[in-house]
Structures are given as structure tokens and as C-alpha cells.
Amino acid sequence: MNLADPSPFPGSPIATHPSTARLCGKIALLVAEDWFVLSHFRPLIAVLSEIAQSVVVVTHSTGRMGEIEALGASVVDFDFRRGSVNPALTGQLVWTLSHIIRRERPDVIHLVAMKPIILGGLALKLASVPRVVVHFTGQGLVGIASNPILRLYRSRMMRLLASLIRKPASYLLVENTDDLAMLRKRGADPGSRFAILGGAGVDPDAFPPLPPPDNPVPVAAFVGRMIRSKGVDLLMHAYSKLLAKGAHLQLELYGKSDAGNREAIPAAAIGSWCQQSGARWHGQVSDVVEVWRGADFFVLPSRGGEGLPRALLEAAACARPLIVTDVPGNRHFVRDGVEGVLIPPNDVSALAAAMQLLASDTALRVRMGEAARRRLLDGYTEAHVKQALQAIYRTMFRLPAAQRSGHAATQG
């Protein structure tokens, strides 16, 4: 179902004509980092603020908690220690988090992404909350890891997810159909209590379609965290390969080296490589539109673990073609040869060939960029996501648990 029809329950008047009445007293939103709240979940906070009398965001402070409070939510500083899988530390975190939940006494707890889902799910064994929303934004590192410890962690994580999602008072949100199928296969089946969102949503007015830049040498841009799962190392190899062949292409990297991630690429290594190759690393960027004003196409060679990358949607909104790997999330949006190019994961030669293709064909870039913009408008905007969230919450509260039913609510 297209998010242009936000109702996941056809015929439900509450979904198509939502009331402004508050449905509950308090919703607790758990997100690992404050910057992640601000970069991805402003629309979610806006919806929750309409539904509940108060919203409390439990997140780790990196100095931006005041910006969350300015959105109308209260905040609780809690370090999820997202880079740790230590069992002893996990026990301590769960105990502390359960105390926070009991103190806040929310009517709904909304768990966003893997670490909050796991710690929140465990804490709910010690602290009761009437309703739970599990907001799955991709498997992350554990979804692609070969490390035995991480594979064991993934197995235990899936068992916890299954027990959490099977509860009648729970609701599952995912960002692509592959993740829904994976969760069902592993026993985490929500029945009909689910919705598929168009990622975090992008405001197409804030990210307008931009004319092709007048670059003497085409510019490829990567926007994201500088971590191995995003394929930054593969991109470096592919670019070096192109330069060795004399290709005319400039590579620009935007994003921080994520120290909290187990697979972060050290800043020194990125800087050294850029010095050798001529690529430029700009670090964290505040104005992404300016990135796409000057770049010709987007590239994201991720190894997997994606939900639906916001950076991909932002580039599409600005009418830039997309080179992405054929993994869940990426392939949910990009159709090969339409909005961009799909390449096999971990294939440096295919990545280099795709970059060479777009660098050498201006008309192709324009055609794919225009298609990417149309694709975004057809179900992945901020308005679509907000409408779907409103419908989900209102239906969840209106109907008894045994009567709730849901369907995918996104562009396929």
C-alpha cells in the first residue's frame, strides 16, 4: 500500500479523519543518541506530541538535549552503550533503565533501533508498560557480522525480539519488506500488528529538486557515518581503482567517524587515504542540501544492516541519482536502471564501474535523478510517514488488542 493512503486499516474512519484528542498520558521514546533523534525522528516526536499529553525522550546526551526539549519533549540522559555487548554491563543498564521506566510510568514505550529495543525489551521484564511499539530501523552491525560473539548476540537478540513482538499489546514498525520477512522467519511474527514506513521521511520542500551542478569534473558524494558497514573502505578502493585508470571523477565524503561504533574507520586512516587519493573528507555536515547543490550523484556501498537510509532519501529528494548496493533497505527504494544503479555488496569492481558509468553520462544522471525525486514523492515524504504513524497509533488505542489488524503502509 502506498503511504499516500496512510490508513493501514482500510475503511477505518479514525485513520482517514484523525481526531485531535489525546489518546494517552505519556509516551516514552527510547533512542540511542540525541543526534540520531534530531537527524531522523523530529516527525515522530511531532506525532507523539499530538497523541500524548507528554513525551519523554530517553537518550544519550552528546550536548544536544536542549534541541530535543525545544521540540516539546522532556529528556532523560541515559547512555545505551551501543558499542558494547558485555553481559555484565547489559545487566547494569537494564536495571537502571527499568528504574527510569517505573519512574516515568508511560502508557506506551516506543523503542527505536536495535540497542534500545534490546535493553528496553529486557527492562520491560522488570517494569510493566501497557503498550509497546518496536521500531526496527535495520539490523545494523549484528545483521552482517561474522564474529562469533556478535552472532551469539544476534541469536539472543532475535529470541528477545520474538517474545516482545508476539505480545498482543505490541506493534511492529519496519522500514522495508526484507526486514519484516526476516523477523517472521526468526519467530518474531507480529501477525497483522505491523506497518512498513517509508524510512524516517524527508520534507521535499526542505530538500528541493536541484539543477545539475556545472562541475568540470563530475562529483560523487558519500553521506553517512564513516564505518565499515557503510562500505567506506570499499568506496576508497573503488575510487583508487578509477584514478589508476585515469577516470575524471572527484569523490567527496561527508560524515563523522563514529567512535561509538565497533567498526568505525579511524579519522587518521581516512585523512591519510584522502591525502593520497585526492578525495576530500568534510566531516559532519549541517546543510545536506548544499552537498547536493555541488555533487552529481550519491553513492552508498553498504554491506547491509540498513533500514532505509535517510541520506539516500535526501539525495533522491534533491534529484540526484543513486548508486547503492543490493541489500535490504537500499533495494526497497532504488530500482536498477531507474533511480540509479544497484550493485552486488562487497564488489569493488562493480562499484567502480557504476561510478564510471554515471560520471561519463550527464543525460543518464539527469534522468535517474528526476526518477529518484518522483519515487520519493510517491510514498517516502515526511508527511506520508507522519500520516502513517498517526493512523497506527490511533488504531492501536481504539481497538482491543484481539481486534487490531494492520497492513504494510508504504510504497513498494
- Give the pairing type, strands 219-223 and 52-60: unpaired
Average pLDDT value for residue range 209-223:
97
Asked if pLDDT for residue 410 goes beyond 60, the answer is no
Average pLDDT value for residue range 276-300:
96
Give the per-residue pLDDT at 141: 56
Helices within 42-147 (DSSP H only): 42-51, 65-69, 87-104, 114-123
The mean pLDDT value of the chain amounts to 88
Residue 244 domain boundaries: 219-377
Contacts of 361 (CB under 8 A, 6+ apart): none
The answer to whether the beta carbons of residues 270 and 253 sit under 8 Å apart is: yes
The answer to whether the beta carbons of residues 154 and 142 sit under 8 Å apart is: yes
Amino acid at 254: Y
Asked if pLDDT for residue 328 goes beyond 90, the answer is yes
Q: How many domains does the chain have?
A: 2
Verify that 133 and 22 share a domain, yes or no.
Answer: yes
Give the per-residue pLDDT at 5: 35
d(CA 149, CA 190): 27
409 pLDDT tier (thresholds 50, 70, 90): very low
- Does residue 7 lie within any of the structural domains? no
The SS3 assignment for 24 reads: strand
Percent of the chain at pLDDT > 70 equals: 88
- Does residue 411 lie within any of the structural domains? no
Verify that 121 and 259 share a domain, yes or no.
Answer: no
- Does residue 39 lie within any of the structural domains? yes
142 pLDDT tier (thresholds 50, 70, 90): low
Percent of the chain at pLDDT > 90 equals: 74
User: What are the φ/ψ torsions at residue 291 (nearest 5 degrees)?
Assistant: -60, -50
The SS3 assignment for 138 reads: coil
Verify that 106 and 76 share a domain, yes or no.
Answer: yes
Verify that 230 and 309 share a domain, yes or no.
Answer: yes
C-alpha Rg value of the chain to the nearest Å? 21
- Does residue 323 lie within any of the structural domains? yes
- Does residue 331 lie within any of the structural domains? yes
Instruction: Out of 83-92, 175-184, 187-196, 304-313, pick the least confident.
Output: 83-92
Contacts of 330 (CB under 8 A, 6+ apart): 300, 302, 306, 309, 312, 324, 342
Give the per-residue pLDDT at 253: 97
d(CA 197, CA 166): 20
| pTM for the model | 0.88
Verify that 232 and 88 share a domain, yes or no.
Answer: no
- Does residue 94 lie within any of the structural domains? yes
**Where is pLDDT greater, at 69 or 140?**
69
Give the per-residue pLDDT at 146: 60
d(CA 200, CA 406): 19
d(CA 164, CA 158): 10
- Does residue 208 lie within any of the structural domains? no
Average pLDDT value for residue range 388-409:
67
pLDDT (tens digit per residue) in 346-388 = 999 999 999 999 999 999 999 999 999 999 999 999 999 999 9
Give the per-residue pLDDT at 152: 67
Verify that 370 and 387 share a domain, yes or no.
Answer: no
Q: How far is CA 118 from the centre of its chain?
A: 17
C-alpha cell at 109: 514505550
Give the per-residue pLDDT at 117: 94
Verify that 227 and 337 share a domain, yes or no.
Answer: yes
Centre a 10 Å sphere on the Cβ of residue 283 and count the other Cβ atoms it contains: 12
Q: In this structure, what CATH number is given to the domain that contains residue 55?
A: 3.40.50.2000
Shortest CA distance to 115 belongs to which of 134, 96, 132? 134
Contacts of 106 (CB under 8 A, 6+ apart): 25, 26, 27, 28, 56, 129
DSSP state of 403: G
Verify that 395 and 303 share a domain, yes or no.
Answer: no
- For residue 302, CA distances in Å to 63, 220, 223, 334, 345 come to 29, 15, 12, 14, 7
d(CA 139, CA 164): 16
pLDDT (tens digit per residue) in 219-271 = 999 999 999 889 999 999 999 999 999 999 999 999 988 766 777 888 899 99
Verify that 196 and 339 share a domain, yes or no.
Answer: no
Verify that 54 and 196 share a domain, yes or no.
Answer: yes
Verify that 179 and 311 share a domain, yes or no.
Answer: no
